[in-house]
Amino acid sequence: MSEFQAADMEQRAFARNGMRVPVVGTGTWRTFDVRGRAADDRRLVTDAALAAGATLFDSSPMYGEAERVLGRTLEGRRDRALVATKVWSADDGEAEAQIARALAYFGGRVDIYQVHNLVAWKSRLDRLARLQAEGMVSVVGITHYSPRAFDELQLAMRDTRVGAIQIPYNPQERDVERAILPAAADLGLGVIVMRPFGSGGLLRRPIAPEALAPLAPFGVRTWPQALLKWILSDPRCHVAIPATSHADHLLENAEAGAPPWFGPDERDYVSRLV
Ligand SMILES: NC(=O)c1ccc[n+]([C@@H]2O[C@H](COP(=O)([O-])OP(=O)(O)OC[C@H]3O[C@@H](n4cnc5c(N)ncnc54)[C@H](OP(=O)(O)O)[C@@H]3O)[C@@H](O)[C@H]2O)c1
């Protein structure tokens, strides 16, 4: 039985704005896009996240029901969470409607409000910066999942209103190492890591328990924990946001959120297991 407690979860601060985040958070793409009984069940996932300290929740209007379901699971305890959501539309009217819905779901404020996939990013940054000035948003962010957009992402990162980026990073998707992570560190931006398990693809091939034995001194028992520790051992990454629909998976993932961190040898070892 795990003895991991919320207090064990490491917190890291974004240099530019001082926001402190837990190193393991909770994604909601697909896992919270559910209705009916399944939506009620997701409260158990949020219970587990709050208990384990994985209290940064990432969502988007692109994820169907996810924002609404997340908001419901946080009813009565919104103050214990950091909500990172997104605006995702080229249409100004639709963007306003998305913002109004998110503010209603999340108690009138969003902790990290991101421009999803850089859609209309210049106008959306204007709008999110106004919300920030009005006290409804703490940090403004930008996201993209595709290396094809990383030149534009780098350009947008230099806008001084941006305080955080969300990018994919795992042993099979390492494009951010070339320019994005160094630039984020130089600019003091928060780095939120999406797709830590390659949207589940990295978990499909079984890894023999014996192969994980060398990682036991790092508190790693399972392959998902090895992947999370691989990411978080890079100090330029502030929080990884694995998504899950199971409370036990969430607790397992949260256990990767404490030192000791891997050195270069362990990171190479995990990369070779992929
Ligand atoms: N901005 C963007 O463009 C963008 C794009 C993609 C993702 N994101 C964000 O990043 C988050 C994470 O990425 P993702 O959802 O694509 O994928 P992911 O977190 O890499 O993988 C999720 C998958 O891993 C499984 N899983 C999680 N923990 C597990 C465990 N301990 N044992 C076994 N299976 C486990 C989940 O299944 P179970 O439900 O069975 O646990 C789910 O199928 C998203 O939810 C979203 O918030 C953003």
Question: For position 45, what pLDDT does the model report?
Answer: 98
Residue 2 has a pLDDT of: 66
List beta partners, residue 192. 166, 239
As a whole number, mean pLDDT of residues 21-41 equals 96
Which residue reads 């029901």 in tokens? Answer: 65
Ligand 1 atom nearest to 222, measured from its CA: 31
Does the pLDDT of residue 87 top 70, yes or no?
A: yes
Question: Span 75-95, mean pLDDT?
Answer: 98
For 145-187, what is each residue's pLDDT tens digit? 999 999 999 999 999 999 999 999 999 999 999 999 999 999 9
C-alpha span between 243 and 32 (Å, rounded): 9
Q: Hey, what are 120's tokens?
A: 């209309």
Q: How far is CA 192 from CA 133, 209, 212, in A?
A: 23, 29, 26
pLDDT of 200 > 60? The answer is yes
Which atom of ligand 1 sits closest to the CA of residue 86? 1
For a pocket test of ligand 1, which of 87, 192, 202, 249 has the largest count of ligand atoms closer than 8 A to its C-beta? 249
**What is the average pLDDT across 223-233?**
98
Going from the Cα of 200 to the center of ligand 1, the distance in angstroms, rounded, reads 6
How far away, in angstroms, is 150 Cα from ligand 1 center?
21
> Where are the strands (E) in the chain, listed by range?
11-13, 20-22, 26-27, 56-58, 82-87, 110-115, 137-143, 164-168, 190-194, 239-240
User: Which of the four pLDDT bands, split at 50, 70 and 90, describes residue 3?
Assistant: confident
Ligand 1: residues with CB < 6 A are 27-29, 31, 58, 116-117, 143, 145, 166, 194-200, 203, 224, 241-246, 249, 252-253
Please enumerate in sequence order all residues whose Cβ is within 8 A of that of 93, keeping only pairs 6 or more positions apart, or say none: none
What average pLDDT does the structure give for the chain?
97
Q: Which atom, in ligand 1's list, is nearest to the CA of 253?
A: 31
Residue 1 pLDDT? 47
Share of the chain above pLDDT 90, in %: 98
22 close to 56: Cβ distance less than 8 angstroms: yes
Query: Among candidates 177, 179, 196, 169, which has minimal Cα distance to 250?
Result: 196
pLDDT per residue as tens digits for the range 104-128: 999 999 999 999 999 999 999 999 9
Mean pLDDT over 238-262 rounds to 98
Distance CA 223, CA 206 (A): 9
Position 205 confidence tier, pLDDT thresholds 50, 70, 90: confident
Is the CA virtual torsion 136, 54, 17, 58 positive or negative?
negative
Question: For atom 18 of ligand 1, which residue has the closest CA?
Answer: 199
For residue 6, pLDDT beyond 70? yes
Beta bridge mates, 83: 57
- Beta pairing class for 137-143 and 110-115: parallel
CB within 8 A of 223, min separation 6: which ones? Answer: 203, 207, 212, 273
For residue 69, give both structure tokens. Answer: 């379901």
Number of helical H runs and strand E runs in the chain: 10, 10
CA 8 to chain centre: 19
Q: What is the pTM of this model?
A: 0.98
Q: 116, 197, 205: which to mutate for ligand 1, most atoms within 8 A of CB?
A: 197
